[in-house]
Structure 1
Amino acid sequence: MASASSRLPLSLKLVVSGFLAVMVPVYYLNYGPTNFLYFCDVALLLCFVSLWTESALPASMAAVGILLPQAFWCADFVGELLGMRLVGMTSYMFDPNRSLFLRGLSFFHGWLPFLLLFLVKRLGYDRRALWAWTGLGWSLCLVAYFLLPAAGTVMPDPKIPVNINYVFGFDDAHAQTWLPAPVYLVCWMTALLAVFYLPTHFVLRKVFGSPMQRAKGLSTSEVTGRLAA
């Protein structure tokens, strides 16, 4: 239950915190620290920050960055479930060498977008999120490209991720070959902005009010409630 000054339920904060308290060490032990550089994992951590600070910017950044990509994740998962391979980004969910518990934790990809929409609705959409996330997302791409294992790298533990954030193509086993690698990286980063981030930004900006508007609305409702009491 939320306090009088809180816009978010304490129960929600505790549930998400409990999930992260389990997920983070399990992921760390199984996938290693670099797994937390995936867009979706960064978005989950931003969601956690937004829950406890009740700041609109972290949730807005995460929403801009992952709402559309997570829709593709869900579509790819359903395709794999039905035996129709789309891009293979969820193939690991059907890997028998990974425990059901480990794979089950990855279902956060399905509920995180709805949680982010709830947060943006409650806290407002911070328009700075577009460029804040773009800067963060592009930085993650550059780190993955220059410092982390490329697609096709054979790791001692096959669960350790390669080709993080698809900076070498959509097939983790083989880097794409239809463009020179640096050109593909630039095209991929540009596509992230043009195809995923910008449309999401425009929709969120249109549908949800700014944090200031949300704060004014909350103040008005509080005053009305007190007068009614």
Structure 2
Amino acid sequence: MSLGGQGRLPTWLKLAFTLWVLFWAPSVALRIGVQNYLWLCNLANFLLLVGLWAESRRLVSMQWLATALVGGLWALDAGVAWLSGWHPIGGTQYMFDAGIPLSVRLLSLYHLVLPLVAGFSVARLGYDHWALAWQTALTWAAILAAWAFTDPARNVNWVEGPFGTPQAWLPDGVYVLTLMLVWPLLLYLPVHLATLSLRRRQP
């Protein structure tokens, strides 16, 4: 299936993802709070839903960047921790916190699904090479909004420290600016380059 080809997305996928968001969004609002919508992985649910129905190459490409590597690292950390109790990366400790209701923790399993949905959509609609710029701008806005408007204890988008741990080695403003630079460079750029490379290899 060509990464540069055009094609419509199946209706069953759009409907299934719509049902998921209709279940997930109010569950998050009621159990965790709407502040959590500002997590970039949570925003991906909403933006991917719009992208599916609009068959927007740009939106699905942006969410492919947002979820491909993040979802893979999340799965690796949670999977290794489930088997051994050790978190090789960090950030999924909450999945094993008995103080958090199991129903809340299970909502995070979408991290395994979003890369598949976004990747399939990109394969059908093609990849927008401007997605990196747009997703970077969205990431900067989400990080700044989380820093300004969310409870620091929630550490949304890791604006208080990486891997869920508060940091103290940099002034807050400097740390946030560093986070804004590092996030797209480490998490989006490799996916962007790999996707472009794969597209060039397609017949």
Structure 2 counterpart of 1:116, from 108, 115, 118: 118
Between Structure 1 and Structure 2, which shows a larger proportion of helix residues? Answer: 2
1:25 is displaced (CA, Å) by 0.7
Match of residue 80 from structure 2? 79
**TM-score (norm: length of structure 1):** 0.79
Match of residue 55 from structure 1? 56
Counterparts in 2 of 1:54 and 1:190: CA distance versus 1, 3 Å: same
- Taking the aligned partners of 1:102 and 1:113, their CA distance within structure 2 comes to 20
Whether the 8 Å CA contact 1:121–1:208 is kept in 2: the answer is: no
Counterparts in 2 of 1:145 and 1:114: CA distance versus 1, 3 Å: same
Match of residue 25 from structure 2? 24
Which runs of structure 2 are paired with 1:1-229 in the superposition (5 Å)? Answer: 7-81=8-82, 82-150=84-152, 153=153, 162-170=154-162, 172=164, 175-208=166-199
Aligned positions, number: 196
**TM-score (norm: length of structure 2):** 0.88
Can you list the C-alpha shifts for 1:42-97, whole angstroms capped at 9, x where unaligned?
11211111111111111111111221122221111113212002343112212223
| Paired amino acid for 1:18 | L
| Paired amino acid for 1:141 | I
| Paired amino acid for 1:65 | A
- Taking the aligned partners of 1:21 and 1:88, their CA distance within structure 2 comes to 29
- Taking the aligned partners of 1:100 and 1:169, their CA distance within structure 2 comes to 25
1:185 is displaced (CA, Å) by 1.4
- Taking the aligned partners of 1:105 and 1:44, their CA distance within structure 2 comes to 12
| Paired amino acid for 1:104 | L
- Taking the aligned partners of 2:194 and 2:87, their CA distance within structure 1 comes to 29
Whether the 8 Å CA contact 2:67–2:111 is kept in 1: the answer is: no
- Taking the aligned partners of 2:168 and 2:99, their CA distance within structure 1 comes to 29
Whether the 8 Å CA contact 1:39–1:137 is kept in 2: the answer is: yes
Q: Is there any run of 5+ residues in structure 1 with no aligned partner, and where?
A: 1-5, 154-161, 210-229
Can you list the C-alpha shifts for 1:14-44, whole angstroms capped at 9, x where unaligned?
1111111111111110111111110111112
* Secondary structure in structure 2 of the residue aligned to 1:126: coil
Higher Cα Rg, which structure: 1
- Taking the aligned partners of 2:170 and 2:78, their CA distance within structure 1 comes to 27
* Secondary structure in structure 2 of the residue aligned to 1:107: helix
1:100 is displaced (CA, Å) by 2.6
Percent identity, please: 35
Structure having greater relative contact order (Cα 8 Å, sep ≥ 6): 2
Whether the 8 Å CA contact 2:71–2:112 is kept in 1: the answer is: yes
- Taking the aligned partners of 1:112 and 1:122, their CA distance within structure 2 comes to 15
- Taking the aligned partners of 1:207 and 1:171, their CA distance within structure 2 comes to 30
